[in-house]
Structure 1
Amino acid sequence: MTTTADLDSPTGVLDAVRDVQSSISELEIDKFRLAVEWAVMHPAESVLHAAMVDGTEDELAIAGPGAPLVAEFCVAELALALGMSTDSGKRYLGDAVETRYRLPRLWSRVMRGEVPVWKARQVATRTIGLSEDAARFVDTHVAPVAHRCSYAQIDRAVDHARDLYDPDEAEARRAEQAEHRHVDIRLGDVTTDGLVYIEATTDLADALAFEAQVAAKAHDLLDTHPQLSLDVRRSMALGHLGDSVGRELVIHAHHDVSSTDGLVRVDNTKSWITVEQLGEWCQQEHTRVTIRPVLDLNEHLHTDRYQPTDQLREQVIQTHPTCVFPRCTRPSRRCDLDHTVEWPEGPTDSINLVPLCRGHHRLKTHGGWTYERLGPTAFLWTSPLGQTYLRRT
């Protein structure tokens, strides 16, 4: 054990750091092994036939061909014990099972502490989609050098195995990778100055046409904004590309006039901007501003029907931006609205409706999970094993 006296010198501190790092590595190995134990305890055979027939629970393939299947609903409880979301826990469990059953040489090196768990997961994540023969090839060639090989080397080994053993899959992947055009507007990462990161991948012809439009508009903005840099004017040009037909700006904003911070809540993006920024947006030339009634999140709305009204649905979504299951981050607009107390015993109103993504809705309905509402945005979930988890949205 490290004592205060051990930390009186630089070498003592370094020795203590090495001890701590060694303990962390050992614990990571234990955690990886325990994940496999959890999978073994919840095989596909544990899913009752009746449950599979009526769709309440299914067997789940978390690793590649030849690895054991697990009971679908076992993932959520392990994930929360790991401090992860259900999706992240599924990936972790899948990597552990993949390594144990399809990459046995790599698994042995991990258990001996010769390859870190994080490096093994990088290999396992890439081999899950391979056939058994291809995975065996990767294990044979990568396991001996896994402690020092790079991601690029792992990728080359996986691609070579796919070419050798899964040629049809290899060709399909090449075709898929050739078509990866996209535009990503990161509305979930808005700064307080109202700035948003945008990235895109497109074909050359579209890129050249777009560059010409941006360059021309940025040059036009030089007349009215001579003090701004070219980069700033190019950024502004994106918003002005539709000036010939005008643009509509619809913002769901909430501002507490009693607040001293001068910030406005933008519900569209779940972010904050300054009052000044909002004013600048609304005053921009060729912009049509739409003003809609403010939705009072504290108002009690209800309906006698099972389905909520549009206004009630919007209120629930604004109150809870994500699924209310612990650690779930799926946006509430893509979720089901669940009656906390089942309808018709429970009403369809502001208090009794919350968003649950489809997977966690099934856990609550068929998987033995229950929850109670402790406050406007606080929920206490109880697992089938009696474990409790508090979630605040």
Structure 2
Amino acid sequence: MFEDILPEPASLAEADDAALVAAISGWARAESAAAARRLAAVGELVARRTRGTDAVNRSRWSCDYWDAAASEVAAAEQISHGMASSQMYLASALRERLPRVAALFLDGAINSRVVATIVWRTALITDPYLLDAVDTELAAIATGLGPLSAAKTAAAIDALIDRYDPEAIRRQERDARGREIVVDTRNGENGTTALWGRLFSTDAAALDRRLTQLAHTVCDDDPRTLAQRRADALGALAAGADSLACACGNTDCPTSGGTDARAANVTVYVLAEQAALDTATDPGFGNGDQPPPAPAPKTQARPARAGAIIGGGTVPAPLLAQLINGGATVKPLRHPEGLPAEPHYRPSVALAAFVRARDLTCRFPGCDRPASYCDVDHAIAYPFGPTHPANLRCLCRKHHLLKTFWTGPGGWHDIQHPDGTVEWTSPTGHTYTTRPGSRLLFPMLCMPSGAPPATTSPALPTAVRGLMMPTRKRTRIQGRVHRINAERALNKAPP
């Protein structure tokens, strides 16, 4: 609806400054309107998937109707199950609780940040009449919330809620209950991973002091800066070490303690080529304030490829060599090409290791759950399908349950190829193709490993299959109502 009034990228070079600023503003509004339409479609899908006796009968399933809908949203947008579930909650709240705010969003008058803040801050309002009044007033002031900071936006919304329903304000207890540590393995860069979170202030002070103490347990020749040693100390702390391994490389180092605790005390699966294992150790790699080395001559051989952590992130070859030198265990991974199928349901340790190394993550569309935490699933159920790499793939527990119980007519089904490629077909007939995570990093692992016998397992009736599904103590709706009532009770209690 904005295409006719906003300049296309090809014509921006001829536009004046005022037109460029107008284009930025206009396309930001178009972006908000597009996001609102996407959420409106998500909300309609959720409404359809949660209606009817089938949804009621499966409401206590561990993988319930909400998870089934989230799998469709996640596959359509190529996002994780958790992100899809968050979008569904946001979409349902706009559709069912805040129609006037939703209308502003559809017009592009407010952005996604403001909408998400409104939905979150109003989640504890349970009286429909009060909610309608708050929705009306929020729609009147929402367009003025955009320029405010996140904190000021939340404060303005809370002030409005306080006039109607004081027990529905998100208070300080929520900040304490919302503490967490996030290790962002999905967005690692050059062998490093971002880390952030929120702790109790006492715990944060203790952690800060402990990192500083560990950072000073090395000798004076250690090439790392204090900031680098504090960062490495967190890894040593996670490995249960009482000191930080020195990186000076001196044979007579007074603080040398033998093996590196990070290499010997914690199991982290890293997939690497032999060339990376043969790389010479370099204690100065990534340490100190020295400038980067000069560019290598063009005739020099390609440096060893970094190792890939099964679960996300990479390990540069020099650091991998240091960890191996410090005591890390090396196990060769054998490609099972030409090997016969194993004569039992549970794959051997070697076969399961190969499948996890080949896939790296859950193989459902959009899911990036590390293979280390996934089940090794038979594409064609055993014994109708063999225990063979062409018939095995990694699925997280949620998507394993989905593939097992939300199948048959009107459900999900898939076809796996000998190279590990999986073609998924959703309940609506849309198809999604996922390929092993090692395909670009270690293509040798994705060589066809033979084809399993062409057969299919007989479909069990839904009622019979559902008896084997793990169940919840409360339905999802009951759990949400319980959490809201508990938080309102805390707000009502005297200080």
TM-score of the two chains, using structure 1 as the length reference: 0.75
Q: Distance in 1 between matches of 2:59 and 2:31?
A: 44
2:275 corresponding residue in structure 1? 257
Give the aligned residue type for 2:225.
S
1:31 corresponding residue in structure 2? 38
The 1:374/1:365 distance shift into structure 2, 3 A limit, reads same
Q: Distance in 1 between matches of 2:46 and 2:201?
A: 47
2:139 corresponding residue in structure 1? 143
Identity across matched positions, percent: 23
1:276 corresponding residue in structure 2? 318
3-state secondary structure, aligned to 2:365: coil
Higher strand share: 1
Give the aligned residue type for 1:31.
R
Shift of 1:345: 0.8
Equivalent in 78, 92, 96 of residue 97 of structure 1:
92
Structure 2 unmatched runs, 5+: 244-256, 277-300, 437-495
Equivalent in 343, 347, 363 of residue 324 of structure 1:
363
3-state secondary structure, aligned to 1:348: coil
Indicate if the aligned counterparts of 1:222 and 1:233 stay in contact, CA closer than 8 A: no
Indicate if the aligned counterparts of 1:163 and 1:170 stay in contact, CA closer than 8 A: no
1:47 aligns with 2:44: no
Tell me whether 369-378 or 30-39 shows the greater mean CA deviation: 30-39
Indicate if the aligned counterparts of 1:190 and 1:269 stay in contact, CA closer than 8 A: no
Give the aligned residue type for 2:83.
S
3-state secondary structure, aligned to 1:361: helix
**Structure-to-structure mapping, 1:238-249, within 5 angstroms:** 238=234, 239=236, 242-243=242-243, 247=261, 249=263
3-state secondary structure, aligned to 1:73: helix
Instruction: String of CA shifts for 1:50-98, please: whole Å, max 9, x gaps.
Output: x5389497454xxxxxxxxxxx533433443345444333322321221
Q: Distance in 1 between matches of 2:229 and 2:77?
A: 47
Shift of 1:317: 1.8
Q: Distance in 2 between matches of 1:4 and 1:325?
A: 36
Q: Distance in 1 between matches of 2:379 and 2:219?
A: 57
1:354 corresponding residue in structure 2? 393
The 1:38/1:217 distance shift into structure 2, 3 A limit, reads closer
**Structure-to-structure mapping, 1:51-62, within 5 angstroms:** 52=58, 55=61, 58-60=64-66
Instruction: String of CA shifts for 1:24-44, please: whole Å, max 9, x gaps.
Output: 454444334333333444442
1:291 corresponding residue in structure 2? 329
Give the aligned residue type for 2:353.
E
Q: Distance in 1 between matches of 2:210 and 2:11?
A: 65
Indicate if the aligned counterparts of 1:103 and 1:136 stay in contact, CA closer than 8 A: yes
Equivalent in 416, 427, 432 of residue 373 of structure 1:
416
Structure 1 unmatched runs, 5+: 61-71
1:120 aligns with 2:94: no
Indicate if the aligned counterparts of 1:130 and 1:162 stay in contact, CA closer than 8 A: no
3-state secondary structure, aligned to 2:384: coil
3-state secondary structure, aligned to 2:414: strand
Q: Distance in 2 between matches of 1:229 and 1:392?
A: 41
1:304 corresponding residue in structure 2? 343
Tell me whether 9-18 or 138-147 shows the greater mean CA deviation: 9-18
Q: Distance in 2 between matches of 1:41 and 1:182?
A: 34
Give the aligned residue type for 2:263.
L
Shift of 1:112: 4.2
Instruction: String of CA shifts for 1:84-135, please: whole Å, max 9, x gaps.
Output: 4443333223212211221133123334443345532332244345424564
Q: Distance in 1 between matches of 2:242 and 2:372?
A: 28
Q: Distance in 2 between matches of 1:275 and 1:13?
A: 49
Shift of 1:304: 2.0
Q: Distance in 2 between matches of 1:87 and 1:237?
A: 31
The 1:179/1:386 distance shift into structure 2, 3 A limit, reads closer
1:63 corresponding residue in structure 2? none
**Structure-to-structure mapping, 1:217-232, within 5 angstroms:** 217-225=214-222, 228-232=224-228
2:476 corresponding residue in structure 1? none
Q: Distance in 2 between matches of 1:229 and 1:148?
A: 46
Q: Distance in 2 between matches of 1:22 and 1:233?
A: 46
Shift of 1:147: 1.8
The 1:43/1:301 distance shift into structure 2, 3 A limit, reads same
RCO (CA 8 Å, sep 6+): is it higher in 1 or 2? 2
The 1:312/1:99 distance shift into structure 2, 3 A limit, reads same
**Structure-to-structure mapping, 1:10-21, within 5 angstroms:** 10-11=15-16, 14=20
Indicate if the aligned counterparts of 2:117 and 2:154 stay in contact, CA closer than 8 A: no
Q: Distance in 2 between matches of 1:29 and 1:235?
A: 41
Q: Distance in 1 between matches of 2:31 and 2:233?
A: 50
Equivalent in 416, 432, 437 of residue 389 of structure 1:
432
The 1:130/1:350 distance shift into structure 2, 3 A limit, reads farther
Indicate if the aligned counterparts of 1:308 and 1:348 stay in contact, CA closer than 8 A: yes
Indicate if the aligned counterparts of 1:130 and 1:166 stay in contact, CA closer than 8 A: no
- Count of matched residue positions in the alignment of Structure 1 and Structure 2: 373
The 1:274/1:27 distance shift into structure 2, 3 A limit, reads closer
2:477 corresponding residue in structure 1? none
Give the aligned residue type for 2:333.
L
